[in-house]
A and B are shown apart, each in its own frame.
Chain A
Amino acid sequence: MKRFDFSRGAVDLVACRAQLADPAAGAYASFEGWVRNHNEGRAGVLRLEYEGYEQLGVKEGERIIAEALARFDIGDARCIHRLGELDIGELAVWVGVSAAHRDAAFAACRYIIDEVKHRVPIWKKEHYADGNSGWVNCEACAAHAHA
């Protein structure tokens, strides 16, 4: 069972949550990242495109889950990240954590999403209402260098 995975289709949240069921767990915390219609002050985001370096991404994602299990008093944790084209409002990433108590569940959930955003090789291209598009975190550097 992969604890971190990519998905090219909609994520079944009921099934995801069921994977974490555990009689010893008194808490379940989850995070859902949704596609929003604006970013960094720019309105008119119509849709997103996620691209992943999957072979390395699943390894790094698994390392993050293992770190969370070592750092926090939790029972289990999972994360799924979408790839491909997504519309506004769609779920882009899900993190779920089960634990005996809520403090550890919240903390581990926060840790996993923060680390995934910083470390897993996933790129996001925004498509705007004015017909332009851009790779988030990449275009500003490129534009600055060309100025």
Chain B
Amino acid sequence: MVQIRVEYFAILREHVGCTHEALSTPAATVGDLYAELDRRHAFPALGHLKVAVNDEFCEWSTPLRDGDSVVFIPPVAGG
């Protein structure tokens, strides 16, 4: 188990109803973590979702480490 923090933005923040949560998870990768949280929160389908760990974009296969901060990034719409 690792202790991690997840931050939510925009449509995911509104869906989950909070800006962040701290949790203890058996997930080995950020992809596994998404699957675990999707079971709990039933995230809306968002097409191409990206992910960041510790404020850098990363692959879904990135291993989770104790203390990581994870952000799932819905399709962006700046400008």
Q: Chain A: residues with CB nearer than 8 A to chain B?
A: 33, 50-53, 55-56, 59-60, 81, 92-93, 113, 116-125, 135-139, 141-142, 144-146
Q: Across the interface, do B78 and A124 meet the contact criterion of CB distance under 8 Å?
A: yes
Any chain A CB within 8 A of the CB of B47? yes
Count residues on chain B whose CB falls below 8 Å from chain A CBs: 21
Residue from the list B13, B44, B79 in contact with A117, Cβ < 8 A:
B79
Judged by a CB distance under 8 angstroms, whether B31 is at the interface is no
Verify B77–A33 contact, CB threshold 8 A.
no
Q: Does B73 contact A (CB under 8 A)?
A: yes
CB distance from A2 to the nearest CB of B (A): 15
- A121 and B55 in contact (CB under 8 A), knowing A141-B45, A142-B11, A142-B44? no
Distance (whole angstroms) from the CB of A109 to the closest CB of chain B: 13
Binding site for A on B (CB under 8 A): 7, 9-11, 13, 44-47, 52, 55-57, 71, 73-79
Tell me, in angstroms, the Cα distance from A119 to B77 when the chains sit together: 9
CB-CB under 8 A from B7, the residues of chain A are 53
- Given A53-B9, A59-B55, A123-B10, residue A138 in contact with residue B78 (CB < 8 A): no
A53-B52 in contact given A113-B79, A123-B9 (Cβ < 8 Å): yes
Contact A123 B79 (CB under 8 A): no
B57 engages A56 (CB within 8 Å)? yes
CB contacts (< 8 Å) of A124 on chain B: these are: 77-78
Please measure, in the bound complex, the distance between the C-alpha atom of A122 and the C-alpha atom of B78, giving whole angstroms: 5
Complex contacts, B11 vs chain A, CB 8 Å: 123, 135, 138-139, 142
